[in-house]
Amino acid sequence: MRQFIQDIAENSHYRATHLLQILRQVQSRYHYIPEEAIAQLSGLLNIPRTQIISVIEFYSFLHLTPRGQYELLISDSITDHMLGKKDLFDYLAKKLDIAVGEVRKDGLVSLDNTSCTGMCDQGPAGLVNGYALTRLDCAGIDKIAELINQQKPLNEWPSELFQVDDNIYKPGLLLSQQIEQGAALKSAFKRGIKETLKEIDYSGLRGRGGAGFKTAIKWQFCSEEQQAERYVVCNADEGEPGTFKDRVLLNSYADQVFEGMTVCAAIIGARQGFLYLRGEYLHLHDKLQTILDQRRQNGLLGNNILGAGLYFDIEIRLGAGAYICGEESALIESLEGKAGVPRNRPPYPVTQGYLGKPTVVNNVETFLAAACIAVNGGDWFASIGTEKSKGTKILSISGDCAQPGIYEYPFGTTIQTVLNDCGASDVLGVQIGGPSGTFISNQELERKLAFEDLATGGSFIVFNSSRNILDVVHNFTHFFAHESCGFCTPCRVGTSLLKKQIDKIVEGHGSAGDIVALEELCQLVKNYSHCGLGQTAANPILTTLERYLGLYENQLKEISFEPGFDLDGALEIARRMANRYDAGAHLAQTDESGSRPIASLPPSLAVGE
Amino acid sequence: MSKTITIDGKVIPFEEGQTIMEAATAAGIYIPHLCHQPEFTPHGSCKLCTVKVNGRNCSACTFPAMDGQDVLSETEELIDDRRKITQMLFVEGNHLCPGCEKTGNCQLQAVAYHLNMLDNHFPLFYPDREVDASHPDVMLDRNRCILCTLCVRASQQKDGKNVFAVSGRGIHKHLIVNSDSGLLKDTDLEATDRAAHICPTGAILIKRTGYRVPIGERIYDHKEIDQVSLEAEHVKHGE
């Protein structure tokens, strides 16, 4: 092990910024991060061991204790559940003779849940040692169990288990036109760098991650900074459940994305770029690396790009299972090899980003659009869309529809149009923009895709009338509690309180005051959290409470108060100690006729009654 | 003309580079806080110091003062919500004030008094947290840790060490110490370190000093935290 750690540290030039990448390799080799590795890395990278442990304990894909040689994770996205995840998961656990969250006694396999893996159009999905598994069914699971028990290496597993399809059903402005490698850069150099920024400005392009900051302004701010060293970062950490468009863009349009990053570098004066690829997309890594190599060979990256004197290169950095790293300042922390905790702002990344230097962070789709605009000009893009939302939006559509996949629409398109195209019928509602977005009911289908109406980073999940909205809310609320980074009080404690409170109501233990308490808590988490995660974590509850209050109320008991814990259950230890199991040794949870708890205290305990 | 901001209608001056918290403290205005101490880099995590700046919620300890800002702090809404955030800190850990050596000297307790917190409001988490009594002179009781990171910063910024760090994610966040055994006794922490004395609650205590000051004669038994805080942290302009 010493030599292995020594080699990877050396390959990373002993830089602490590479800690996360190094730990990923250790995890992949040993299926945990052994104590000896921590001690050795602490010395080699000259960082305290606590820094290493805090990174390991932050990312879901890194572990301090051994996982199986086959680390199986099954996606827990609502879309996987809609495709029968629960039964499959049980089947898998039984087949492998393993409990969820555990490592099998022989150490061969471990099984757990994981947040949405970005395969919602081809779920139920999972990961084995980081590699995506798609379209899981009983036959597939039988096969997987057999392969694991035979200890077959992953490269000998049948490729259909890992097959990931693009599923592009409706290409629009951006997807229908593959621009030639280098074309955007040639156009940009020919037109002039400043003029190209102007074209991007004319295009009205706004960030495609969901927040919608104007791209040209971000680039201009960064280019005006005093410090000479600057960075371009492509945010490919699409962790919002229901989003998978970046997976497709990087699989089939990567050249254009890299080209957009290079145009950005030329404009802001950056020499180094990063593609921050979510760990769940490990299957894309080698392919993307090959494309980067090709681009270097073709004079599109590296020294003197296209003879124009520009130096720029791109490095791929992998995430390790943390939704919060999609937040740009958390992403930068992660790039620096640290836990992905969002920074205080100001300063913003355009002033002080990666290593404190001016940094532009944009979504994959934004860079793709920028490359296309560099070729076709700003008017080409601006002529489509609405006044405030120019161009098109690429949607990842999943859930109850005939053809889940990728669809591109001009901004301003109605939700009904989208639903017609993807073959959705009997629609109950649509989750737009993922759990952090908005749930709209079937009474609002004439609303439009646009920053000024329904903004989305691309997630579009359809629910038909067979679905229970509270199941959806339950899943999303648990997701946020799991993904909260824990930095600030309102989100760290608040998301867990929301989880408890929604569980209480869904499980039928709620009473009249509980919905008021729930809403109050939602407002607190929304208004006081440090970053977008906490500020949107209550959206699943708030947007459905607003529309389906009756649904929540139906869950409540006809009493004004019910305690959040199990009174009778709390007596279990006492019963065992006293060896008493008669009726008198039990407590009713509540006096069903009124609000007062405790109906049947045993006489010996009913002092003063 | 020096630049000014307005806090709850009161116009106060500030110097370039000051945060809202620094400007307020210099002007004798208390904004509740737990993770902030003027000696250390602001952290902005407890969120008790949230104020409304031109209509938007910001952490006073990290947000820069800028000319003409209209800051609201002592509104009914903010006071109510600060109380709820304090209640969150209480239910998240295991805070049993009557049995805690820090009672009366505890900033968490004092802030709760200041905000008129009368109950926990939220359900208790009763987490299982480790107590580390291994160090000869310093006691670490994670049950009382509120993850303010003051000990982390004090160790790095004052003691030139790296004894503490915060690890984990979400509700599983916890304090860890820098030694192979994971125990405090094997770190280079000394009882004279700033980090050993910075804890606003009773998570880090110096051994064999308990109850030297009787309950009833402690810091917050006679003074409210706003007064104590301003006396300790108040630096007038130009000083």
Query: B177 or A595: which carries more pLDDT confidence?
Result: B177
| CA–CA min distance A96, chain B (Å) | 29
In chain B, the residue whose alpha carbon lies closest to the alpha carbon of A534 is: B170
Same domain, B70 and B127: no
Which phi and psi angles does A582 have, rounded to 5°?
-75, 170
Same domain, B142 and B182: yes
Same domain, A191 and A283: yes
Chain B residues close to A48, C-beta within 8 Å: 162, 165, 178
Q: Which of A35, A487, A497 is the closest to B45 by Cβ? A: A487
In A, residues 331-370, which contact B (CB 8 Å cutoff)? 339, 344, 346
- A488 at interface of B, judged by CB pairs closer than 8 A: yes
- B64 at interface of A, judged by CB pairs closer than 8 A: yes
Q: Is the pLDDT assigned to residue A566 strictly greater than 80?
A: no
| CA–CA min distance A518, chain B (Å) | 11
Same domain, B102 and B215: yes
Output the pLDDT for position A416.
98
Same domain, B100 and B37: no
Of the pLDDT bands very low, low, confident and very high (cuts 50, 70, 90), residue A607 is very low
Counting the structural domains of chain B, the total is 2
Q: Is the pLDDT assigned to residue A603 strictly greater than 90?
A: no
Of the pLDDT bands very low, low, confident and very high (cuts 50, 70, 90), residue A226 is very high
Helix, strand, or coil here: A20? helix
CA pair distance A177, A527, nearest whole angstrom: 42
- B145 at interface of A, judged by CB pairs closer than 8 A: no
CATH of the domain at B25: 3.10.20.740
In chain B, the residue whose alpha carbon lies closest to the alpha carbon of A54 is: B167
Residues A68-97: what's their mean pLDDT? Answer: 96
Output the pLDDT for position B233.
83
Same domain, B101 and B63: no
Best mutation site among B40, B167, B186 for testing chain A: the one with the most A CBs within 10 Å? Answer: B167
> What is the number of CB-based contacts under 8 A between chain A and chain B?
109
In A, residues 510-569, which contact B (CB 8 Å cutoff)? 521, 524, 527-530, 564-565
Helix (H), strand (E) at residue A535: helix A532-537
Same domain, B111 and B194: yes
pTM for this predicted structure: 0.94
Same domain, B108 and B77: no
Q: Which of A496, A521, A529 is the closest to B171 by Cβ? A: A496
Chain B residues close to A524, C-beta within 8 Å: 81, 84-85
Same domain, B22 and B115: no
Q: Contact A492/B176, CB-based, under 8 Å?
A: no
Range of the domain at B163: 95-223
CATH of the domain at B211: 3.30.70.20
Same domain, A499 and A549: yes
CA pair distance A9, A22, nearest whole angstrom: 7
Q: Whole-angstrom distance between the N-terminal and C-terminal Cα of chain A?
A: 69
Same domain, A189 and A265: yes
Same domain, B77 and B105: no
| CA–CA min distance A325, chain B (Å) | 12
For residue A99, the Cα-to-chain-centroid distance in whole angstroms is: 25
| CA–CA min distance B211, chain A (Å) | 30
- B202 at interface of A, judged by CB pairs closer than 8 A: no
| CA–CA min distance A91, chain B (Å) | 30
Structure tokens at A500: 């408890």
- The string of DSSP letters for A141-200 reads HHHHHHHHHTT--GGGS-GGGG-----EEE--TTTT--PPTTHHHHHHHHH-HHHHHHHH
Best mutation site among B62, B152, B171, B175 for testing chain A: the one with the most A CBs within 10 Å? Answer: B171
- pLDDT tens digit sequence for A235-255: 999 999 999 999 999 999 999
Burial A154-178 (b: 16+ CB within 10 A, else e): eeebeeebeebebbbbbebbbbeee
Burial class for B234, CB neighbours closer than 10 Å (0-12, 13-18, 19+): middle
A607 assigned to some structural domain = no
Same domain, A311 and A356: yes
CA atoms A552, A554, A560, A565: torsion sign: negative
Of the pLDDT bands very low, low, confident and very high (cuts 50, 70, 90), residue B1 is low
> What's the whole-number average pLDDT of chain A?
94
Q: Is the pLDDT assigned to residue B239 strictly greater than 50?
A: no
Which phi and psi angles does A276 have, rounded to 5°?
-90, 100
Of the pLDDT bands very low, low, confident and very high (cuts 50, 70, 90), residue A192 is very high
In chain B, the residue whose alpha carbon lies closest to the alpha carbon of A524 is: B81
Q: Which of A354, A382, A410 is the last residue of a domain?
A: A382
Range of the domain at A322: 169-382
Q: Is the pLDDT assigned to residue A145 strictly greater than 70?
A: yes
Same domain, A363 and A287: yes
- A496 at interface of B, judged by CB pairs closer than 8 A: yes
Of the pLDDT bands very low, low, confident and very high (cuts 50, 70, 90), residue A602 is very low
Same domain, B99 and B72: no
In chain B, the residue whose alpha carbon lies closest to the alpha carbon of A498 is: B122
CA pair distance B40, B156, nearest whole angstrom: 10
Chain A residues close to B81, C-beta within 8 Å: 524, 527-528
Residues A175-197: what's their mean pLDDT? Answer: 96
Q: Contact B167/A485, CB-based, under 8 Å?
A: no
Output the pLDDT for position A564.
66
In chain B, the residue whose alpha carbon lies closest to the alpha carbon of A36 is: B180
Residues A182-209: what's their mean pLDDT? Answer: 97
A158 assigned to some structural domain = yes
- B164 at interface of A, judged by CB pairs closer than 8 A: yes
- pLDDT tens digit sequence for A91-139: 999 999 999 999 999 999 999 999 999 999 999 999 999 999 999 999 9
Q: Contact A481/B89, CB-based, under 8 Å?
A: no
A593 assigned to some structural domain = no
Same domain, A43 and A87: no
Structure tokens at A417: 């149009």
A313 Cβ neighbours under 8 A, 6+ residues apart: A271, A272, A273, A296, A301, A302
CA pair distance A295, A289, nearest whole angstrom: 10
Output the pLDDT for position A452.
94
- B200 at interface of A, judged by CB pairs closer than 8 A: no
Same domain, B101 and B155: yes
Q: Is the pLDDT assigned to residue A604 strictly greater than 60?
A: no
B88 assigned to some structural domain = no
Same domain, A544 and A414: no
Are residues A464 and A246 in contact, defined by beta-carbon separation less than 8 angstroms? Answer: no
Q: Which of B62, B89, B167 is the closest to A57 by Cβ? A: B167
The two beta strands, A109-114 and A405-410, are unpaired
Same domain, A236 and A349: yes
A277 assigned to some structural domain = yes
Chain A residues close to B47, C-beta within 8 Å: 488-490, 528-530
Minimum mean pLDDT range among A268-272, A561-565, A578-582: A561-565
Closest CA to B125 of A595, A481, A505, A572: A481
A600 assigned to some structural domain = no
Counting the structural domains of chain A, the total is 5
Q: Which amino acid is at A524?
A: L
B239 assigned to some structural domain = no
Q: Is the pLDDT assigned to residue A609 strictly greater than 70?
A: no
A591 assigned to some structural domain = no
Q: Contact A564/B123, CB-based, under 8 Å?
A: yes
- pLDDT tens digit sequence for A429-472: 999 999 999 999 999 999 999 999 999 999 999 999 999 999 99
Q: Which of A139, A164, A189 is the last residue of a domain?
A: A164
Same domain, A201 and A156: no
| CA–CA min distance A33, chain B (Å) | 14
A62 assigned to some structural domain = no
B90 assigned to some structural domain = no
Same domain, A245 and A131: no
- pLDDT tens digit sequence for B124-157: 999 999 999 999 999 999 999 999 999 999 999 9
Same domain, A282 and A403: no
Output the pLDDT for position B234.
72
- B60 at interface of A, judged by CB pairs closer than 8 A: no
Same domain, A297 and A349: yes
- B85 at interface of A, judged by CB pairs closer than 8 A: yes
A599 assigned to some structural domain = no
Chain A residues close to B64, C-beta within 8 Å: 346
B60 assigned to some structural domain = yes
Best mutation site among B19, B88, B90 for testing chain A: the one with the most A CBs within 10 Å? Answer: B88
What residues form DSSP beta bridges with B206?
A: B138
Q: Contact B178/A50, CB-based, under 8 Å?
A: yes
Output the pLDDT for position A590.
58
Same domain, B35 and B147: no
- B55 at interface of A, judged by CB pairs closer than 8 A: no
B87 assigned to some structural domain = no
Give ipTM to 2 decimals.
0.97
The C-alpha angle with vertex A545 and arms to A540 and A551, in degrees rounded to 5, equals 110
B99 assigned to some structural domain = yes
Q: Which of A444, A467, A490 is the last residue of a domain?
A: A467
Can you state the angle between helices A2-11 and A35-45, rounded to 10 degrees?
Answer: 40
CATH of the domain at A308: 3.40.50.11540
